[in-house]
Structure formats: C-alpha cells, structure tokens
Structure 1
C-alpha cells in the first residue's frame, strides 16, 4: 500500500531549518524509524542535550559545505565529514552536541532517529562511525547509490547497528532509473532530497514523501525510482519494524511509561554524564 505524508517545515533560530517526517506516537508508519529531518545547519542550533532509548544518526550529504564537530559524554570527539555517517546508540542515556566545523558554512544533512529494541534501551550507550571513503558505492547507468547502512546489489555497509535498517542515498541523472528490492515484512519509505523523483511511476518532490507501507504480507517486491525531468536525489529507508510502544518526552523515547520515568530521573541526577563548555 502506498501513502503520502507531507513533510513539515521546522526551524530553530537562524541556524537550523529542516523538512521533517515524524512517525507519530507509535512510530507507525515508519517503524523502526521514529523521525527523519532533512536539515541545513549553519551555526550551533542546540546546546548540549540528552538522548535515551533510541539512536541518533547523522548523515552528511557529499555536497555539504563543511563537516560536523561531534562530541558526547562518552568522551567521543570527531569530525563527521561530508559523505560520512555517525551513529549514537543512546541506550540508557548520553549527552551530545553537533555544530558545523567551520563558522559561516552550511551543513547539508539528515538527522535520523531510529528506535532501539526494548531489550537494548537500557544498554550502555556507544557510537559508530563510517568515513566517506568507507561508504560502499554502486555505480549504475546514469545513477550512483551510496550505501551508508544496510546493503544494495553486491555492496554491504561495514557498520553493524543495533537496529536492522538500510539507507540508500540515490543520485539519478535525467532518464536514469534504479530498482531496489524490498523484503516482505520490511517498512520502507522514500524521502526526496533534490529535484523530482518518480517512485513506481508517481512523482514526488521536496514537498512530500512516498511511504510504501504495510509490506508484511504478500511477496517480496521491487520499488523503482527514476528521474524524468532533470537530475534528482532521494534517500530510501527500510527496516524491520519493532512493533513496540513508544513513550515520548522531549529527547527521550522508551517502550514503557515506567522506563521513561526512570530515564528522566536518571538524567536529573546526572547519570548521563556532562560535556565541558567549549
């Protein structure tokens, strides 16, 4: 079944704007994803802030003007370069901060919030990182597919994340098409990034996203992306839905009200650690 979800425009001060897709209280219909922000960041938009119960993933498009200076309360400090991806599995709780590495330049990115299985929501936090040069790339006639998460064709991302997901960054020249197989039982959706992309013959642009959902029954299928009117870029997300409750409060998302209350109390007593001022 195909549905259309409008992307909401969001801004935070003058340094951050985004087109955002939210999965709602139960994360449906994009489970195991909770939300995706297609964002432009030109300054420090948020102070150091906590997360718990899910993974916060940052992917920089190769055309980003600059890198992200990333740090967290685990002691991680690294540059997320254009074309690279950083995965923070917040688990029982972590504090982090991301700012553009060069003042005055704009980061072009995806902020992706991915649920953790209930049994991993109280696990110690950890971070994964993949450098741009380590992201597998599949070249097809008129198309390039980057594979920062999951697999496509004969390419397999070296990252093994705590939630089973796939993310394909697909660039299309005019007239090109890419066929992506989807497994029965997987949730999958498309976020247009640039230009107009046709998904199974239906056009989508930045104003909307196609959501092929309810794939838990029937045969495996193939989704076709093509560009008919100039170059286009889109990202395809897919994963195995967790089908577990989602209790939200600010930067926390847990599978029960009790776990959420315990997490908030843990943060208040300083269990997540802190970041030193820059």
Structure 2
C-alpha cells in the first residue's frame, strides 16, 4: 500500500468516550458499543480501560469474535480455562480469537499502580465464528515501528510508511498507533470501502480538513467511506497520539447477547445452551459455573 492519499476522508461523527464502571471495579471509557455507536461494522466495542488491583475482569465467556488488547501502561494477566496464561506488558498486543468459545479472566499483573490499555472487539464472519480459539501475542519490541519527520507509527495490524505487521487478521483490518510531534502533518492510506475511525489518546489534532476544529483526548472520530485515506495535522504545542483503526465490513446480520455475537437468535440460543451445558467450546466452563 502506498502512502499516497489524494482524497482525504472527512470526520462525520465525533463524541467523547465518557467513563463508566465495568467488570469488578474497573473503569472504562467506552466509545464503540454504547448508544452513540452501537456497532460500526466490523467493530463491536472499543474500551480505554483503567484498572488498579484488586479490580479487574473476572472469569467471563466469549463466542463469535476477536478481542485485541493493547497495553498502554502497566501490565495485565490473562488466564483461560484451557490452561493458557500470560502477562501483557506496556506496548504489548494480545490478539485473541474467541471463535467457538472461551472462558477467561483479565486482571492486573502487579498489585501496585494503575494499569491502562485499549480493548477492541472485532466481529468474525459466519465462516469463522465457530473456529478454534487462538492467540497471537506480540511483545512491544516485535511490533513494527517507523519514525520519519516528526511522525512515529507502531503497526499493530496492516501497513504504514512501507512497513507491514505480521499479525493475521481473519477480518481484514488495520490498527495503527500514531504519535505526531508539534507541527507535524501526515497522510495515511485506508483501503477503499473499509470503515475506519480515530481514537485520540493524548494531545489534540485536526483531522480530515485543515480548517476543522481540533479534537482532543478520549474522543472517537468516525470517518466517512469516501476517499482513500486520513489526513491529520498537529498544530498544537504538545504531542498528539491517536490510533487509526479500519476494517472491511462483513455486511452480515449481527445478534449480540452480552459476550456472545452470532448471526441470528437461534445461534445465540444454542450458544447459551452450550455454555450452560459446558459443551462445544465451553467444556471447562463448569468451573466458572461452579463459582457463580
């Protein structure tokens, strides 16, 4: 993919991700997955989370989609009921395919401090919803990174500035972490007809049109589907950091029941029955059920 952009996309919606409580004492800023933007095909949820022990996300199931956890500060411990266990440190990525079913927990890896990160839920097409669970775990020093003329980008998925991520995306996706120094300007291509959004982590920037008003931290910006990329300026005196995420729309029916995302109500009913009976991907959920 070339970094050549001729028709920048415009921002068609912008709103602030306000704080809410989730899990056991965790605080999140939810943007996708709330009333303002319930679903943005193929994206189901985006949370900017902040957790201090003993808070966390106790044992919970998933089916039918992928979760992408990107640590910004601190570290989180992940453990599932198939015996997979690991720690995601600052800058690390865990790309988890829940597929046909998994039960796991997420909690601070260390007892002190505040642990912060992003979690994105990406829907799976009907042909992948019942695939076997899988993990792609990439440490910070393994993530492709490019710095050029005041622009730094970490390429979690997709391609930017001549570098490509090795993450496999079952739903074709891009996930880029940009840092722009004051005075910087950048254009980033986005595949035609993909949905895309920006989430600002710190600072302020101008997106889409040079005469637009600046957007600040914790705002989600929905881009239109006309055009071939994003154009952004940092005209402030502070560093601007944001993620740009895009994906190919699945254009399939979506029926969601909490942590289960399928294509119709019958599949949701079957998922609930599978979970309650501890079968078809939830064999080890009996331990979860015995504790609740």
Shift of 1:51: 0.6
Deviations 1:90-138 (A, max 9, x none): 1111011111111122122001111001111111211111111110001
> Does the residue aligned with 1:121 lie in a helix, a strand or coil?
coil
> Does the residue aligned with 1:241 lie in a helix, a strand or coil?
coil
Shift of 1:208: 2.7
The answer to whether the 8 A contact 2:41-2:251 is kept is yes
Matching residue of 1:259: 267
> Does the residue aligned with 1:109 lie in a helix, a strand or coil?
strand
The answer to whether the 8 A contact 2:201-2:218 is kept is no
Distance of 1:207 and 1:125 partners within structure 2: 31
1:205 aligns with 2:213: no
Matching residue of 1:107: 115
- Measured at CA, do residues 126 and 14 of structure 1 come closer, stay the same or move farther in structure 2, by a change above 3 Å? closer
Matching residue of 1:17: 27
Deviations 1:153-190 (A, max 9, x none): 21111111222111000111111122101121111110
Matching residue of 2:200: 192
Could you tell me which of 155, 165, 173 is aligned with 1:165? 173
Shift of 1:14: 7.9
Shift of 1:28: 7.1
Q: Where do 5+ consecutive residues of structure 2 fail to align?
A: 1-9
Could you tell me which of 33, 40, 46 is aligned with 2:43? 33
> Does the residue aligned with 2:275 lie in a helix, a strand or coil?
helix
Q: TM-score, normalised by structure 2?
A: 0.86
1:4 aligns with 2:6: no
Distance of 1:172 and 1:243 partners within structure 2: 34
Shift of 1:214: 3.1
Shift of 1:239: 0.9
1:136 aligns with 2:144: yes
Deviations 1:257-278 (A, max 9, x none): 111111111111113124689x
1:93 aligns with 2:93: no
What is the number of residues matched between the two proteins?
269
Following superposition, which runs of at least 4 residues in structure 1 exceed 4 angstroms of deviation? none
Shift of 1:24: 6.7
1:124 aligns with 2:132: yes
Q: TM-score, normalised by structure 1?
A: 0.90
Could you tell me which of 66, 69, 72 is aligned with 1:58? 69
Shift of 1:69: 1.0
Distance of 1:137 and 1:92 partners within structure 2: 33
Could you tell me which of 241, 261, 280 is aligned with 1:233? 241
The answer to whether the 8 A contact 2:63-2:261 is kept is yes
Q: Where do 5+ consecutive residues of structure 1 fail to align?
A: none
Shift of 1:13: 7.3
Distance of 2:23 and 2:59 partners within structure 1: 16
Matching residue of 2:277: 269
Shift of 1:46: 2.2
After the TM superposition, which of the residue ranges 129-138 and 156-165 deviates more from structure 2?
156-165
